[in-house]
């Protein structure tokens, strides 16, 4: 899986020019594009500029003949990245942001374009219509299916070796499979308990707090020999030079800033995506951070009567690449792409 190409070569050139220059006029942009690609109309260039504005990549300033263009303040957060090319560079040779960036908070907005938001809202209308028309017994069975598949996939991403069928037997019959550790079974059952807790208290997650995140973490990590509450020691992350915050006071500050940001955000898809990315980025707990990030994101979706994600069809390696890209470059583009794909998958495969 690779980043979907959203832009054409002219649009890529416009972004490259604006990365070199602070701002450029339409006449200068037109001249540069004409030099690169030969004969071209101003109407075509204006269409390119409109597309880039709609994608939140650039902004226009000034009026009439004095109008000029520059990169949007959060361009680095959402700009397209060639994932294959990025990860061709060895871990220790990549130029990255090695420490947590507290300056990221002001730019964590306008994540989805209007088209993306509209697409997900339309999908969610189908989901809401489906559950309204579904008999209670079937609704219960469908949610059980999603719980099983999410518990399996989320655990698999963390290295759990239970198969989907073994996970189903474990959750339905409380029967552990041979050849697996007790810890693996507990990890899966903890997912079920956490999801049951979220579902029973879903309205509470319209407002996010550090305490609620810690509650979800508690359910996910109970009896796994993982310390409760915010971590007190430094942690490393496999596959990257990025090192999360090593100070408990700053961990608390970053988590509370994240909660404040999420609670101010109006788009509940943005709420879910940003919370998922930021919990993984902060790494507030000794272990279980990405599990907590996935389930708290689902908690937000369920709080707003939106379809939760099971991540069943996501490729484990691609998911980890999306997370690492956010760690290293504070770029959420691939994370967003996978989120949209998994939301579409969930609506099309559950509660129908």
What pLDDT does residue 1 have? 43
Give a yes or no: residue 184 inside a domain: yes
* DSSP character string of 188-252: HHHHHHHHHHHHHTGGGGGS--HHHHHHHHHHHHTTTT--SSS--S----TT-S-B----HHHHH
> Do 96 and 50 belong together in one domain?
no
Report yes or no: 265 and 109 within 8 Å, Cβ to Cβ.
yes
29 and 170 belong to one structural domain: no
What is the arrangement of strands in the sheet containing 68-71, beginning at the earlier edge strand?
A: 24-25, 68-71, 58-61
Could you tell me the two tokens for 240? 């990257």
60 phi/psi in degrees, rounded to 5: -105, 145
pLDDT, residue 22, reads 84
Judgement on whether residues 117 and 48 belong to the same structural domain of the protein: no
- Range 342-350 average pLDDT: 97
Burial class for 199, CB neighbours closer than 10 Å (0-12, 13-18, 19+): middle
Dump pLDDT digits (tens) for 258-282.
999 999 999 999 999 999 999 999 9
Does one domain contain both 42 and 114?
no
Provide the CATH number for the domain around residue 325.
1.10.3290.10
Q: How many C-beta atoms lie closer than 10 Å to residue 10's C-beta?
A: 21
What SS3 state is found at 92?
Answer: helix
Over range 63-71, report the average pLDDT. Answer: 86
> How many angstroms separate the Cα of 59 from the Cα of each of 64, 70, 71, 75, 113?
15, 6, 6, 10, 14
Q: What is the mean pLDDT of residues 77-104?
A: 94
In a domain, 242, yes or no: yes
Question: Does residue 312 sit in the same domain as residue 172?
Answer: yes
Domain for residue 79, yes or no? Answer: no
Sort strands 68-71 and 24-25 into parallel, antiparallel or unpaired.
antiparallel
Say whether pLDDT at 2 is over 80.
no
- Main-chain dihedrals φ then ψ at residue 243, nearest 5 degrees: -125, 120
**CA atoms of 255 and 231, how far apart (whole Å):** 12
Is there a contact between 92 and 241 (Cβ–Cβ < 8 Å)? Answer: yes
Asked if 231 contacts 252 with a C-beta cutoff of 8 angstroms, the reply is no
The whole-number pLDDT of residue 74 equals: 87
| Structural domain span for residue 50 | 9-72
Domain check: are 255 and 298 in the same one? Answer: yes
Structure tokens at 225: 């020999």
Residue 57 lies inside a defined structural domain of this protein: yes
Q: Across residues 56-63, what is the average pLDDT?
A: 90
CATH of the domain at 63: 1.10.10.10
Identify the pLDDT of residue 6.
66
Alpha carbon distance 83, 219 (integer Å) = 34
pLDDT of amino acid 3: 45
13 and 118 both lie in a single domain: no
Asked if 245 and 318 sit in the same domain, the reply is: yes
Number of folded domains that form the chain: 2
Residues 158 and 121 both lie in one domain: yes
Lowest mean pLDDT across 3-12, 99-108, 201-210, 322-331: 3-12
Q: How far is CA 271 from CA 41, 104, 153, 258, in A?
A: 40, 15, 22, 10
Helix, coil or strand: residue 25: strand
Q: Do 271 and 344 fall into the same domain? A: yes
Task: With respect to residue 269, please indicate whether it lies within any of the assigned structural domains.
Answer: yes
Instruction: Say which residue the tokens 């972004």 belong to.
Output: 15
Q: Is residue 59 part of a domain?
A: yes
Bridge partners (DSSP) of residue 305 are none
- Domain membership flag for residue 243: yes
Q: Is 320 within a domain?
A: yes
Shared-domain flag, residues 98 and 56 = no
Which tokens belong to 191?
Answer: 């997912």
- Rounded mean pLDDT of the chain? 94
């Amino acid at each position: 899986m690779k980043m979907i190409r959203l832009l054409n070569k002219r649009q890529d050139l416009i972004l490259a020019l604006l990365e070199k220059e602070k701002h450029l006029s339409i006449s200068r942009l037109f001249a540069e594009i004409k030099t690169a690609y030969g004969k071209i109309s101003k109407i075509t260039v204006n269409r390119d500029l409109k597309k880039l504005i709609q994608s939140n990549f650039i902004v226009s300033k000034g009026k009439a003949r004095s109008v000029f263009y520059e990169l949007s303040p959060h361009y680095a957060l959402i700009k397209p990245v060639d994932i294959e090319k990025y990860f061709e560079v060895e871990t220790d040779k990549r130029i990255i942001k090695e420490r947590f960036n507290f300056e990221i908070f002001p730019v964590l907005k306008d994540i989805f374009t209007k088209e993306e938001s509209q697409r997900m809202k339309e999908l969610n209308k189908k989901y809401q219509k489906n559950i309204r028309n579904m008999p209670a017994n079937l609704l219960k069975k469908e949610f059980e299916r999603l719980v099983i598949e999410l518990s399996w996939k989320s655990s698999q991403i963390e290295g759990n070796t239970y198969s989907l069928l073994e996970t189903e037997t474990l959750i339905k019959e409380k029967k552990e499979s041979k050849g697996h550790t007790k810890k693996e079974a507990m990890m899966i059952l903890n997912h079920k308990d956490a999801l049951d807790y979220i579902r029973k208290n879903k309205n509470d997650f319209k407002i996010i707090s550090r305490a609620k995140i810690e509650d979800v973490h508690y359910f996910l990590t109970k009896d796994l020999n993982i310390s409760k509450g915010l971590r007190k020691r430094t942690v490393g992350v496999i596959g990257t030079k990025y090192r999360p915050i090593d100070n408990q006071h700053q961990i608390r500050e970053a988590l509370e800033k994240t909660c404040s940001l999420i609670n101010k955000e109006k788009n509940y898809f943005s709420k879910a995506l940003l919370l998922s990315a930021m919990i993984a980025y902060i790494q507030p707990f000794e272990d279980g951070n990405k599990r907590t990030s996935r389930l708290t994101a689902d908690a937000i979706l369920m709080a707003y009567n939106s379809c939760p994600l099971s991540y069943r069809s996501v490729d484990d390696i691609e998911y980890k690449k999306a997370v690492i890209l956010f760690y290293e470059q504070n770029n959420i583009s691939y994370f967003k792409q996978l989120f949209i794909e998994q939301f579409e998958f969930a609506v099309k495969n559950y509660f129908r």
